[in-house]
Structure 1
Amino acid sequence: MKPINKSGLHTLYLLMIVEGLSMLGTRMTSMSIGIWLYHSTHQTTPILWIALFNELPAMLAGSIAGIVVDRLPKRIVLLLSDTGQAIGSALLVMSLWFGFFSLPLLLTIVFFQGICAMFQSPAAQTVTALLTSEEQRDRVNGIRETIFPLAGIIAPALVGLLYTPLGITGIVILDGITFLVSTIFLLTLRLPDEMKEKLILDQEKVALRDIVGGIVFMFQNRLLGLVAYVGVINFLLNGTLEMVVPYVSGASGDVGWGISFVLIGMNAGAFVGALIVASIGHFRDRIKTMSQGYVMTGLMFIVFAMAKDSIWLGIALLLLMIPLPVGNAMLSSHLQSVVPSALQGRVFAFVYQINMTSSVLSFFAMGPLVDRVLQPAAAKGELSWFISFVGDQAVSGIVILYLAAGTVITTVSLTVMILRRK
């Protein structure tokens, strides 16, 4: 394989910087809207609806987005995605300025931006494969994995600094500016695939085989099991990690610096994990590395469930989070290496669709499981044998969930490692 020249890597790193700015603006807007909506309505349900409507397009039509990514030049896909999201931000600003804002309008805008975003993720993955060699991908994907935790650290600080002087409108304008910067950069960019690709309108009508082409390839090359494995891990992680704040406050009794320390550890762990991948640069067995990391995550879930002091809770959560960006980077590099370029859009879109679906199902399942099943059972003494082990506390239901999730993640990951040896 020919090495990718340095100009290709420079282009990719510039794309990552622009992507990071867009993500930072998006997270600032999300936090600001959440604050503004809660103070306006004193309800949390609208905030949950926003998250659902943003992820719904990828859940329902992610595979179709992959066809577009495979047929159109990747720069055009990214350009249209950023332009669409900028239009959504502009419409939101106008609604706030001219007084026609409403929750249905907000959900419509969020849904539209979710449609744009579902094209962006698979397109960005295919661009990484296009501009990197096999030896460079682990490091590049590791660097990409630093973007999300960095945005998670910086966005709250900026919102705290800017929300009062700028208000919700000012924050949304900043978000729109980040998309505008990305759009201008993409207008000046040219990628290698633009000389080879034809517009989707010039090609034959999309057939069923086009939609399932990526899935068929994954089935034939034993990749569906890997995607299902990652989907199960995502299902067990997302809903449970959303309970960190109530769990820490209930387990330690510390609602001040203790929660802040634990949340900092959470973001720091993800950032450290991404830095580890970027520093090492190349891994011989990516799936083994990913599975070993998930074993560590499962074990740390159990430690996190048993810890009571805020310091130990923060340390356990930091160690729990480190393997997650490692696993994401390993999966991306593996698929970028084994999937033909003509199918990468569909494969990454399908993986994105599975991850979004498992995440949303986790959000819907884990809360009611704790509130309606585990915690009431613990309160009624139906799990006395278990309570004698974990202790009788207000968050016993969450403790049981964490122990179960950690056990399943560890067991499934060890099973994957054993099966790969055969």
Structure 2
Amino acid sequence: MAAFPFPYTFFLTKPSISKSLTTRPHVKLLVSPTTRKNTSKTCSCSAQNTRRAPSNSPLWTVTDIAQAVGGKIVKWGPPGTISIDTRTIEPGQWFFAITGENVDAHDFITLDLSKSGCVGVIGNRVCENWEMGFVQVDGDTVSSLLKMAAFARNRFVGKVIAVTGSVGKTSTKAMIALALESLGSKVYHSYEHWNNTFGVSLSLITIPRDAGIAVLEMGMNRKGQLLELTRLGRPDIRVILKVATAHLENLVSLEGVAMAKGEMFQEAKPGDICVANADDPFVKSIPVPQGARRVLFGRSLESDVRLVAAERVGSGGSVGVRVVLQKNMEMVEFVIPTLGLHMAVNACAAAAVATSMGVPLSQVGRSLSRYIPVSMRSEFVVAKSGIKIVNDAFNANPVSTKAGIDTLKNIDCDGKRVAILGDMFELGTHEIEYHEESS
């Protein structure tokens, strides 16, 4: 980078989910952080990068595990947390050996795994020379993982919040968790982008036993998936952020995306809260079951929590936000230290969730002013050479790419602005059209 003769601002956009999730990495690294060497004895059976469990994950005893999965204790082992990824297994973890279409994780149960500190395995066949703990399940290990997740959800007595949307899920999830801290209960939110079947399962399994609130992220790329995830997570508060041009390969049209996202509200119970974007006609039109409470957020005058202003602060590295609670016209102003005016909408959504749960709007503002951007989502880095880098390289669709480019345009820069764009997948017959629009 030092070879550049004058300051540059780079925008690293998000390569989208691969068409072959089971065989290709979920993330292409456009920045060049340290990459993990590929070895023959590592396995990640999730379609997502599930990495390691949060450090405050609950310990599962061998009897807990056996009860949760309906399995048989073959060899006893100490309590531990759960992982499905041998590449990042840590001392004190149990390895859940998932059998997928292309990989059987039982093939990776070796002496090297025990040397990494793995204390036990959950699988459907006993592996030769494995001397640590072992719980054997019958049949499909994916079904057993879902059983364990359901067991974890049943024993959790706190509130569960689930967030979905074509854009903004991970950032909004983090903002919601931050906005709820003042309630006094321990707030857990799922790790990074754990939002598919494996990710939501692990999110439930890793909820700390002393938590009072859990904030989860739920994604989908096909009809029926969100319904499956909401049945697993049974959220008390359900949030839909936006319907946009994503996953068109499977869902064909925005109407198809809206129907699939609408599954978030489909089985809401009386007393549940359904939080919806009033500015998005697709989201706003999603029906809410009788007895559930609908809360609207956005710039629309119909919003219960209304975003009345969003503006750049200083050189563009922060966003000033002004939000009004319509029922009493209370207003709060605060600054979130992150790039992109679109982040103000996420903050408004978080305010809608928090105020619906009893957090004073003024406290919401104070909490969100401490927000720290999530890794690889509008992440701002200044290199030693003075080059500014906006690392937004996690995932992409046309809407998020446009928002990222708009952010790049609005950052103060004395030199040139450079956008490094990755491919956007799952756009179906619209693939060429949307790539041309983004160029």
> Could you tell me the TM-score, scaled by structure 1's length?
0.23
Larger helix share, 1 or 2: 1
Larger strand share, 1 or 2: 2
> Could you tell me the TM-score, scaled by structure 2's length?
0.22
Higher relative contact order (CA 8 A, sep 6+): 1
